[in-house]
Amino acid sequence: MKEESNLKINLGRRHFLRLSSLWCAACAAGNGNAIAAALTSERMVDAGPIGNFSHDGVHDKFRGLGFFVIRRQGKLLALSAVCTHKKCKLAAETDGSFYCDCHGSTFDPSGKVTEGPAKRDLPFLSTRVNEHGHLLVRVPAE
Ligand code: FES
């Protein structure tokens, strides 16, 4: 009876090793980026047509997804909307600065910390415009 139990364990282990080797083969075949992206949950968010951001200022429609779209002198930027202290979502103030409701950190319009407890500035996120004229924002895992 005990041998039967060991056999089940060995079969399971063999199966696990086979799955592991398939996983590594997928990495070697160039699917490592997709696997890494899935593991980190980094994603590209389509923020829509760039024409939707026709006026300078902070557009907070994507705050819930972790970023603000900022238009300055016709240039579009994406600034993280996640507080660098303990990851609460920030609120955009009317003067272009940002406020964290959780512990009171503040950031100036370029994302620099103006009041703690946050110590790190907000990062700008990578963006690009696709062939349809949509703004794509690379949002890191939270
Ligand atoms: S999470 Fe923003 S100040 Fe603490």
Give the tens place of pLDDT for each residue, 49-84. Answer: 999 999 999 999 999 999 999 999 989 999 999 999
Q: Is the full-model pTM beyond 0.75?
A: no
Give the tens place of pLDDT for each residue, 84-108. Answer: 999 999 999 999 999 999 999 999 9
Ligand 1 mean position, distance from CA 141 (Å): 18
Which of 105, 121, 142 has most ligand 1 atoms within 8 Å of CB, for mutation? 105
Non-local (6+) Cβ contacts of 104 within 8 A are 115, 117
> Burial, 82: exposed, middle or buried (Cβ in 10 Å; 0-12, 13-18, 19+)?
buried
Other residues' Cβ atoms within 10 Å of the Cβ of residue 87: 12
Ligand 1 proximity of 89 Cβ (cutoff 6 Å):
no
Task: Give me the pLDDT at residue 42, please.
Answer: 83
pLDDT higher than 50, residue 10: no
